[in-house]
Amino acid sequence: MTLTLNKPLQFFVFLLSVFMLLALMPQQADARRGNKKGGTRTSVNHSSNKNRNVNVNSNKSSNTNVNVNRNKNTNRNVNVDVDVDRRGRRRGGVWTGVAVGVSTAIVVGTIVSTLPTGCTTIIQNGISYQQCGTVRYQPQYSGNNVTYIVVK
Amino acid sequence: MKKKIITSLFLLLGLSFSSMSMANEKKSSSEKELALSEMSLAIQALNNMSGHLRSLDRFSVHADIYVDEVLENGQKIQQTRSISASANPPSMLMVKASNINTSREFYYDGDNFTIYTPQPGFYATFKAPETIGKLIRKATDDFDIDIPLSDIFLWGSKNDNSSEILEATLIGVELVNGVSCNHFAFRQKDIDWQICIQRGELPLPLKLVITTKLEEAQPQYVALFKWDTSPILKNKQYYTFIPDENDHKIDFQTNKKNK
């Protein structure tokens, strides 16, 4: 049995799939770039004993998915999954998503390597912060790279 | 009579076998000697280069870096970076490292060390020890910071790891950027590495290749160096970081400081 669709619907389905492919592509490329193992030694005389695995996947259009997985030899293991639906509104101090099944929470102490768009720099008591909507990030050096930790 | 012939034949056979095996032993021991002398030759060349590096009172070096990153699917991606370093050993160093996306600057004036990211203008500073060698160690141990081209400052210092070399071979003469150099290959437990040392009066490293054996994909780091051993002498101010009005001071990630 074959599924028969009328022509306009077929065209619509085709357009939709092309659109979805295009919409997903940059994200996949980002993820691919993010999923690197690292670990190439760059010095003969000292090894920095690093085993860092940063996995960042961020979709800036409507949802922000941040997945930070940082493994260090010091046995510190931070693994935070954050899903934010920015269409969500703050109700009674809790972020609620419009979309069903999207868990929403911003955990203080979450570390990300990129910020969402539309942040502004604010300075308080000589310390520089990035204010992105209602979330405040503090930039810091994690090794040679700048990361952002959620402080508020 | 017949018996005697057979016994002597056996004896002859035995003799020839034993002499053959002796020749084999001799050959393998001479091979070992050759390998050992080759190793000592390579180590000597390396020490000679290290001594020369440590004798320089100032230099600047430019390096083109090609470094493999291994994706989760095991695919190797080679990335390109460019590094320029100026040094007045033992206590002044400035390094600029950049790729297409970002750049980093490292300033050390003998008192303080600053890491600076020009875009978006963040910097962090710590009180530094008195030599470049000690600085490299402190940066790694306490702050997780890798100062680029650290080998150039560690060879011939207290933190030289050449005692970990297990095998060393002379590969031959090569040309790097049009300059002829002696190509050596070394093996250590976790890495294999190669170096091409300029021939003649100035034994400087022209090329360094490090292969990481701990990773299944065996990613490589390749550095090609261009040297200037008599640059214009720069004053301390050149090595001191001075922020401009758009730069912001930030912290190092706290867990590192508490380590």
Contact B155 A48 (CB under 8 A): no
Q: Tell me, what's the pLDDT at B256?
A: 46
Residue range A117-152, pLDDT digits in tens? 999 999 998 889 999 999 999 999 999 999 999 998
B186: Cβ contacts below 8 Å, ≥ 6 apart? B42, B46, B165, B167, B168, B192, B193, B194, B195
CA atoms of B182 and B218, how far apart (whole Å): 24
Contact B248 A128 (CB under 8 A): yes
- A124: chain B residues, CB-CB within 8 Å: none
Top pLDDT among A130 and A102 is at: A130
Say if the ipTM goes beyond 0.95.
no
Whether omega before B205 lies within 30 degrees of 0, making that bond cis, reads no
The candidate with the shortest Cα–Cα distance to A138, out of B252, B146, B259, is: B252
- A45: chain B residues, CB-CB within 8 Å: 150-151, 154-155, 159-162
CA atoms of A42 and A46, how far apart (whole Å): 9
| Residue B236 host element (H or E) | helix B236-239
Inform me whether the C-beta atom of residue B207 falls under 8 Å from chain A C-beta atoms: no
Residue range B187-241, pLDDT digits in tens? 999 999 999 999 999 999 999 999 999 999 999 999 999 999 999 988 999 999 9
pTM of the model: 0.72
Amino acid at B207: K
Interface test with B, best of A44, A69, A76 (most B CBs within 10 A): A44
Phi/psi at B27 (nearest 5 deg)? Answer: -60, -45
CA atoms of B201 and B188, how far apart (whole Å): 28
Domain extent listing, chain B: 53-257
Q: Tell me, what's the pLDDT at B59?
A: 97
Inform me whether the C-beta atom of residue A51 falls under 8 Å from chain B C-beta atoms: no
Give B53-257's CATH code, choosing from 3.10.180.10, 2.30.38.10, 2.50.20.10, 1.10.3720.10. Answer: 2.50.20.10
Interface test with B, best of A28, A42, A53, A75 (most B CBs within 10 A): A42
Q: Which residue has the tokens 């071979």?
A: B169
Inform me whether the C-beta atom of residue A90 falls under 8 Å from chain B C-beta atoms: no
Residue range B145-159, pLDDT digits in tens? 999 999 999 999 998
